[in-house]
Structures are given as C-alpha cells and as structure tokens.
Amino acid sequence: MDLLSSLLPATFLPASLSGLDAVILIITAGLTSLLTAAVGIGGGVALLAVMASIVPAAALIPAHGLVQMGSNLNRAIMTHKHTDWPMVRLFLAGATLGALLASFVVVQLPVQTIQFAVAGFILYLVWGPKPGKLSLSKAGQVGAGAVTTVISMFVGATGPLVAAFIHRHSMDKLATTATFAWCMSLQHTLKMLVFSVIGFVFQEWLLLLAAMIVSGTVGSWLGLKLLNRVPVVLFRQMFRWGITLLALRLIWQASGL
C-alpha cells in the first residue's frame, strides 16, 4: 500500500483506485470546476479525459456524472439570480423525455461516430448562421434538452453541446453561466437516476466523489471570482474559442492522428 493510501480510510477508496489516483481526481475536480466557472465551458470534458485514464470504464460515465451534478449545482446556486428560468424549464422538460428514452436504449455507438457527430454539431452551433425563430422556439429548447440528455448517457460530457446551444441566445456572461449550470445539474441528476435504475451501485464511490464535489465547489467559487473580472467581450470570445478547441480536439481523437 502506497503512502497516500495509508493516509486515507480504507472505505474512502474504491478497490480499483490507489491513494495517488484519488488525490489526482480530487485536485482535477477543483481545477476543472474553476475552468468552467471562469471561462464558461471545458471543465466537464477535461475532467472526463482525466477520469478516463484512471477510473474503470464501467464506472466512468456514472461517476463523472455525479461529480458534474454536484459541481454544476453548486455553481447554479451561487449564480441563481441571473438564471433564465423559462429556458431551464423547457430544457428540463426535454431532458426528462431524453432520460426516459435513454433508459430503454442499450446500444453503444462507436466512439469515433460519436466524436465526429458531436464535434460537427458544436462547430455548426458556434460558427454557423444565426438561428431563425424555429431553432429558438420553445420546441427547439425542449428538443435540445432531450437530444443532449440521450447523448450524455453514452459520452458523459455533453457540456459543449449544451453550452453551444445556450451561447446562441446572446445572454450576458453571468446569465450564460447560471443557465448553463442549472441545465447541466438537472441533466446529470436525471442521468444518475437512470444509472441507478439500470443497476449501477454508487455506494463504493460516494466518499471519493463527495470529496471531488467539495473540491469542485471551491473551484467554482474561485472561478466565479475570476469571471467577475473578465470583460463581457473577452468572455464571449473565450467562450466561443473554448468550445471550438474542444470540438477540434474531438476530431483529432476520432481521426487517430
């Protein structure tokens, strides 16, 4: 047993992880939450990338989802006064439908197919023509909640998709951050319910994931302090280019270059 493992209670660590693994995950949760709070996007995908190299595949999506639920919920509460509630309600209605559909779907799409599809969709939303009334309609917002929730069950980090959709509404930086945080926290909550129903047991992971959520809360608080210092124009540019870089990264991975 390594030194870090000896300093942690035996029940704190899932059997498949070492103490060093736990420390890396806890620190990463804080840093990625800071990133999302300060820039508006990127933390969920960055955390997923790190977790994928440490956490067993069977536990990756539900474990990542629980941490993201806690991180986004904390950030949502911190910024709740700026939330676009009508949009959140419509997104939740769609997300609920998506979760119900996903609970009956057991097909895992090829990783490359998902990566190319998600990357292309992100780039279109960020750089494509401004949407007309139809794409900004109530039905469109419900559809966004449904589609991204279904995708989330298979790829985990749909933050770039949801963020790109919210970005098209040209809200100010705090409203963007708050609305995004509520949409993501609700989506991850639904995802946790689905994984619980299909049999994933969270008990072994709860203490570690709780520590990651606490770390994420601290990161969110620090990130929001930085957000308040970022000019609106700069924030929107960072937000757009952050999403674009994530999309290009997905294409790079899918291409196997």
Asked if residue 9 belongs to a domain, the reply is no
Number of Cβ within 10 Å of residue 244's Cβ equals: 17
pLDDT number for residue 182? 94
pLDDT number for residue 189? 93
**pTM more than 0.75:** no
CA of 158: how far to CAs of 81, 84, 139, 203, in Å? 24, 20, 20, 25
pLDDT number for residue 54? 82
Non-local CB neighbours of 86 within 8 Å, separated by 6+ positions: none
CA-wise closest residue to 242 among 32, 41, 36? 41
pLDDT number for residue 133? 42
Asked if residue 209 belongs to a domain, the reply is yes
Task: Please report which helix (H) or strand (E) contains residue 213, including its range.
Answer: helix 206-227
Asked if residue 75 belongs to a domain, the reply is yes
Domain extent, residue 249, equals 14-255
Q: Is 21 exposed, middle or buried (0-12, 13-18, 19+ CB in 10 A)?
A: buried
pLDDT number for residue 134? 42
pLDDT tens figures, 155-174: 767 777 787 778 766 677 78
pLDDT tens figures, 62-75: 888 888 898 889 88
- Strand, coil or helix: 170: coil
- What is the token pair recorded at 195? 């994984």
How wide is the angle at C-alpha 82 spanned by C-alphas 128 and 171, nearest 5°?
A: 20
What is the rounded CA–CA span in Å between residue 212 and residue 219? 10
Asked if residue 4 belongs to a domain, the reply is no
Asked if residue 5 belongs to a domain, the reply is no
For the chain, how many structural domains are there in total?
A: 1
Handedness of CA 28, 247, 63, 162 (dihedral sign): positive
**Helix 173-197 with 206-227: angle, nearest 10 deg:** 170
Asked if residue 1 belongs to a domain, the reply is no
Residues lower than pLDDT 50 in the chain: 1, 3-5, 132-134
Asked if residue 7 belongs to a domain, the reply is no
Number of Cβ within 10 Å of residue 99's Cβ equals: 24
